Structure 1
Amino acid sequence: MRIGALSARTGVPTRLLRYYEAQELLTPDRAANGYRDYDERLVERVVQIRGLLDAGVPTRIIKEILPCLDGPGSIHVNGPSAELIENLERHWAQMDAKIQCLSRNRDAIRGYLDTVRAQGR
């Protein structure tokens, strides 16, 4: 299928599909005229990429994860390398630290709002 059809089926803009290709996350075939030709299996691959990006995983780690995935929620048990696991653990720790910081900020704002509202009554 052409890039426009893949975009329509996945809801991912064509410019992002080209970006995924540049990041080596997708590898379409090329027709004789140079047009990209996307295999049907790449529809699921794009959905996986979107899910990982939405979860905050950077493309450099996604590139390492994709060869280990069979399908949504399915991972080869012996697939991930020690380096990939280390990268994922580091990324998880960074995300967790951000979540903790956001939680503290949320709680501080809630406390401020409660105080301001109580004083205004």
Structure 2
Amino acid sequence: MSECWLSIGDLARETGASVRSIRHYDGHGLLTSSRASNGYRVFPATEAIVQVRQIQRLIAAGFSLAEIRSFPDCMLLIEGAMSCPETSEIQRKRLASIERQIADLERRRVRLRQMLAEGAAPPLD
């Protein structure tokens, strides 16, 4: 049985990603593409749909394309994969980073509320 291929536009429609995003992912080596006889990019349908959806999920969780590129197939080729042993540590580090950012934003919010309530800037922590 031969592989079904999708044009970049079809892949965009199937995944909800923009054509520009798909080109960007492909340019970073995150997708497998070939060139059709007309010179246009084509993508293996089943694999590419899963990969684009996974890339979108990982970006939404705060990972960079460089980090995603380092992830093994257990994260990129299985739709809905949440974690695998090879990625658990980087996911924990990303969570810790996000939690530090949230704590920093909370401190800033408290300080700004104090400034507004008192009409003056409180001393720095």
TM-score bucket (shorter structure): 0.7 to 0.9
8 A Cα contact 1:28 1:37, kept in partner: yes
Q: What CA distance in whole angstroms lies between the structure 2 residues aligned with 1:10 and 1:27?
A: 15
4+ long deviations beyond 6 Å:
none
| TM-score, normalising length: structure 1 | 0.73
1:38 correspondence with 2:43: yes
Displacement, 1:28? 1.6
The structure 1 residue matched to 2:79, chosen from 71, 75, 82, is 71
**Pairwise CA distance, 1:49:** 0.6
Counterpart Cα distance in 1 of 2:37 and 2:71: 31
- The answer on 1:91 being equivalent to 2:97 is no
Deviation at 1:45, TM superposition (A): 1.4
The number of aligned residues is 111
Q: Deviations over 1:42-81 (max 9, x none)?
A: 112111111111111011111122512222035444xx1x
Correspondence for 2:58: 52
Q: State whether structure 2 residue 13 is matched by structure 1 residue 8.
A: yes
Alpha carbons 1:61, 1:88 under 8 Å: kept: no
Aligned partner letter, 1:105: R
State percent identity of aligned pairs.
Answer: 30
CA–CA distance in structure 2, aligned partners of residues 13 and 66 of structure 1: 24
Separation in 2, partners of 1:87, 1:76: 11
Gap regions ≥5 residues in structure 1: none
TM norm structure 2? 0.72
Please, which moves more after superposition, 19-28 or 33-42? 33-42
The whole-number CA distance in structure 1 between the counterparts of 2:67 and 2:37 is 32
1:104 corresponds to? 107
